[in-house]
């Protein structure tokens, strides 16, 4: 059930059950991060591999020391610069965080989300929330409450309605080698913005066997419909004229075939607007019973890097 009322959501969480919550990035599947049986429900609902850790959401930076320890100075700098916001930090965990949350690793992924309703929710709970994206493992992330409801239907008592996600891409994830920041996942906060605060960041964004953070698996974020990436979408379209094709476009492309369904991510060519619209557009294309989705490469900087990362993972078999 989709609701704007915090009361039944709080009650459900206090009863060790799972709910859908809005954030500025994507909607999350949330439960008590301290309760292993609740965390198990999240993994089971998502059909998520046990080796893939979850992100813990806290109400404010002041709560960081309740879930993490031995925090590097650069982590404090990044938290001060970007929290609440779409940045997750991977830090040494406190003992009260169950190993199930961290996939058995000694580190925990943690952030302060930037959504007023979820911040209010967190402030009224006696525990942080473990919350991966609210979608079955590997599928397109949800950016509306309706997406979550469509995925889980009667399996979730409540999805908290917070409107469309303002960022539309998952959080950027940064860990540390000593005090040296390491990028584990491109996300809604551009790498360039992070480097303005802490200098050069090393990049390690793929690990299929024992990921240090969510979103590092080669295949992820995928539509059910077969998807191709193309540097020349019009030329690629002409090669598939016998198929029912949908086109995902950064900016509008003038097409001679008016029957092609085109989803335009940004009329103005804004990477921020395109990022916000990406998953919702993929959801719509995926529901059109197409043979094929053709998607572009984005400019390889800022949020374009993140969108290229997501689309590369979406097309992996």
Q: What is the pLDDT of residues 15-36, one digit of tens each?
A: 999 999 999 999 999 999 999 9
Mean pLDDT of the chain: 93
| CATH of region 227-314 | 3.40.50.11030
Residues in CB range of 151: below 8 A, 6 or more apart:
134, 135, 136, 139, 142
CB-based contacts of 118: which residues, under 8 Å, 6+ apart?
Answer: 21, 22, 23, 57, 160, 162
**pLDDT attached to residue 210:** 53
Q: What is the pTM of this model?
A: 0.92
The residues of the chain that CATH labels 3.40.50.11030 are: 227-314
Kindly give the parts of the chain with pLDDT less than 50.
none
Four-point Cα dihedral 149, 151, 155, 157, nearest 10: -20
Q: Return the SS3 of 24.
A: coil
Q: For CATH 3.90.870.10, list the domain ranges present in the chain.
A: 2-203
Angle, CA 237 vertex, CA 231 and CA 243 arms, to 5° = 140
> What pLDDT does residue 211 have?
59
pLDDT in tens, 74-96: 999 999 999 999 999 999 999 99
CATH number of 2-203: 3.90.870.10
């Amino acid at each position: 059930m989709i609701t704007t009322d915090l009361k039944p959501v709080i009650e459900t969480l206090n009863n060790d059950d799972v709910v859908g919550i809005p954030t500025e990035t994507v909607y999350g599947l949330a439960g008590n991060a301290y309760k292993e049986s609740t965390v198990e429900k999240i993994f089971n609902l998502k059909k998520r591999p046990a080796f893939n850790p979850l992100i813990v959401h806290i109400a404010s930076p002041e709560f960081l020391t309740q879930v993490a320890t031995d925090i590097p100075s650069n982590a404090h700098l990044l938290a001060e610069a970007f929290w609440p916001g779409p940045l997750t930090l991977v830090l040494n965990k406190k003992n009260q965080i169950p190993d199930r949350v961290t996939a058995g690793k000694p580190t925990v992924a943690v952030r302060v989300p930037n959504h007023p309703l979820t911040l209010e929710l967190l402030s009224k709970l006696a525990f942080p929330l473990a919350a991966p994206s609210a979608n079955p493992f590997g599928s397109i992330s949800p950016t509306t409450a309706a997406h979550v409801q469509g995925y889980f239907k009667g399996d979730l008592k409540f999805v908290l309605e917070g409107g469309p996600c303002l960022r539309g891409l998952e959080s950027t994830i940064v860990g540390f080698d000593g005090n040296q920041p390491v990028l584990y996942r491109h996300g809604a906060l551009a790498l360039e913005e992070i480097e303005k605060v802490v200098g050069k960041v090393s990049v390690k964004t793929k690990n299929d066997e024992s990921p240090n953070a969510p979103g590092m698996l080669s295949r992820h974020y995928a539509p059910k419909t077969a998807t191709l990436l193309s540097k020349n979408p019009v030329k690629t379209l002409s090669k598939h004229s016998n198929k029912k094709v949908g086109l995902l476009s950064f900016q509008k492309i003038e097409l001679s075939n008016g029957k092609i369904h085109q989803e335009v991510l940004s009329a103005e060519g804004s990477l921020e607007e395109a990022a916000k619209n990406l998953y919702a557009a993929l959801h719509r294309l995926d529901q059109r019973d197409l043979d094929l989705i053709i998607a572009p490469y984005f400019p390889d900087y800022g949020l374009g890097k993140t969108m290229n990362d997501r689309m590369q993972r979406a097309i992996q078999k």
